[in-house]
Structure 1
Amino acid sequence: MNVQQHNPFQFPRIYLASQSPRRAQLLEQMGVPFDVFLPEDSAAAELLEVVLPNEDPVDYVQRVSLAKLQAIQQQINTARLPPQPILCADTTVAFAAEILGKPEDAADARRILTMLSGQVHQVHTAVALACGHEVKRTCVTSQVTFKTISPVELEAYIDSGEPFGRAGAYAVQGLAATFIEHLSGSYSSVMGLPVFEVARLLRG
């Protein structure tokens, strides 16, 4: 998918190796021209996200973003597509060193959100940008404080369907914004892409 928009800062056109509509939205907000490029083998891409035994959340998110980038690099090279920078990102939610992935079902979403209720947790987003043979990387950590979520709010949120398909079982830009008492760090990074850091990588 080719995305055209106004580019006042003259960012280079890139390949976005992500199907996340939030990441596409944030790149459009920055004025970055991009083409979405997805993995041919979605099952293999999902396997990259399997957490290794005792893996630290920051190590995990950096490993996954780099592995996804390398897989897409190989695809693009094989297809002999025009060379341009490739951007890949991965976001994970962690509480007390436990990596909280996408909930498997309503019961799992309930477990995760109950764990986060009234607590501070971390959101880590790792970015990997390939420019030719060079790979630039960064990782941004934000602290998010949830209010105590009432049982009625919890069930209403699960019934909305928003927790599913999202790390940590919530979307900062959605209904869950009503749960966030405080956010320290990068709001856009919690959404899925740290705008300031990505702009700095692209300018470099």
Structure 2
Amino acid sequence: MEQQHLVLASGSPRRKEILENVGLSFTIAVSDIEEIIEEGASPSEAVSSLAAQKAQSIADRFQHSFVIGADTVVVLDGVILGKPRDKEEAFSMLSGLSGSTHSVLTGVCLMQGSRTVSFYESTSVTFYELSETEIRSYIESGEPMDKAGAYGIQGLGSLLVKELHGDYFSVVGLPVARTIRELKKFGFHAEKNAL
């Protein structure tokens, strides 16, 4: 069988690690597009569109490969929380998430040639009540600054989470089980991982 080539259109170390952990071989090609969310787009539309934009920008360079584009957003009360611009914005985001439940949506777009399949996963995450001291201490760790919603569930941010309903890996950045299943339906045959 011809060797199939998988490309991850993301520079996220978390997505890279998730795919490596299930035994996939792949190339990383980072999209340099300006991420644009259409005005009035719902969170699911926004995350699906961003994933597609990333995949498309890379798929043009890898015509015969299977390309994975993904994007993750944190949504609180219908408002998308991106990456914080500074420590004060991180504090504002974490204060809003404290003691409440929010959604984390990850959109995935798979492309191969002219074929495309897109989906998204939504996971519900509830935080403990956080004191100002806890929030400031977490911000000083530096972890929140490059992450949507100002936290990373796979790191120190795990200490903020009371409960989660849905796909943990989607919160990290890639719903891997569904992604692999969709790739298989798409015709991709993984060389050595389970399934």
Q: Does 1:190 align with 2:182?
A: no
In 2, the alpha carbon distance for the partners of 1:63 and 1:38 equals 17
Partner AA of 2:47 in structure 1: V
Partner AA of 1:138 in structure 2: F
Partner AA of 1:14 in structure 2: L
**Which residue is equivalent to 1:5?**
none
Pairwise CA distance, 1:55: 2.1
**Which residue is equivalent to 1:108?**
89
SS in 2 for 1:91: strand
**Which residue is equivalent to 2:17?**
25
- Which of 101, 117, 124 is residue 143 of structure 1 equivalent to? 124
Pairwise CA distance, 1:29: 1.0
**Which residue is equivalent to 1:8?**
none
Unaligned stretches of 5+ in structure 1?
Answer: 1-10, 78-82
**Which residue is equivalent to 2:74?**
93
Q: Does 1:54 align with 2:35?
A: no
Pairwise CA distance, 1:76: 3.2
**Which residue is equivalent to 1:3?**
none
In 2, the alpha carbon distance for the partners of 1:99 and 1:36 equals 27
In 1, the alpha carbon distance for the partners of 2:159 and 2:179 equals 27
- Which of 35, 53, 56 is residue 67 of structure 1 equivalent to? 53
Partner AA of 1:62 in structure 2: S
How many residues align structurally?
183
Pairwise CA distance, 1:12: 4.4
Q: Does 1:157 align with 2:138?
A: yes
Match runs of 1:68-83 below 5 Å? 68-77=54-63, 83=64
Deviates more, 1:129-138 or 1:101-110: 129-138
Q: TM-score, normalised by structure 1?
A: 0.86
Q: Deviations over 1:3-37 (max 9, x none)?
A: xxxxxxxx943011100011010101111110111
Partner AA of 2:176 in structure 1: V
Q: TM-score, normalised by structure 2?
A: 0.90
Q: Alignment RMSD, CA only?
A: 1.4
Q: Does 1:15 align with 2:7?
A: yes
Partner AA of 1:141 in structure 2: S
User: Percent same amino acid among aligned pairs?
Assistant: 36
- Which of 96, 100, 104 is residue 123 of structure 1 equivalent to? 104
Partner AA of 1:165 in structure 2: D
Q: Deviations over 1:123-158 (max 9, x none)?
A: 000111112321111100000000011111101001
Q: Deviations over 1:26-77 (max 9, x none)?
A: 10111111011123xx3xx1x22x3332321111000111111111112335
In 2, the alpha carbon distance for the partners of 1:130 and 1:13 equals 12
In 2, the alpha carbon distance for the partners of 1:106 and 1:75 equals 37
SS in 1 for 2:146: coil
Unaligned stretches of 5+ in structure 2?
Answer: 186-195
In 2, the alpha carbon distance for the partners of 1:120 and 1:127 equals 23
